[in-house]
Amino acid sequence: MQGNNVEVDTRNAKTAARAYQLWEQEGCPHGRDLDHWFAAEAEQSVQPKAAQASKKSRKRAG
C-alpha cells in the first residue's frame, strides 16, 4: 500500500511542477489553476503511453 502513496505523491509533484510552468508561460493569470492542473495531468497521461509504445518498438527492432 505504501508504494502506491509514493507513486501518487511523485505524480502529484510532477503535475504541480508542470502546472506551474504552464501558469508562468501564460503570464500568471489569476483563477486558472484548475485549467493548468488538468492540462498537466493530460500531458502526463499521454507520456507513459508514448514511452510504452517506444519500448515495444525497440523490442521488435532488437
pLDDT digits (tens, 9 = 90+) for 17-29: 999 999 999 999 9
Condensed to tens digits (0 to 9), the pLDDT of residues 33-44 reads 999 999 999 999
Mean pLDDT, to the nearest integer, of 49-54? 64
Q: Which long-range contacts (CB under 8 A, 24 or more apart) does 20-27 make?
A: none
Is the pLDDT at 9 greater than 80? The verdict is yes
| Contact predicate 44/15, CB 8 Å | yes
The single-letter DSSP state of residue 27 is T
What's 31's DSSP letter?
A: T
Residue 12 identity:
N
**pLDDT bracket for residue 2 (50, 70, 90):** low
pTM of structure = 0.69
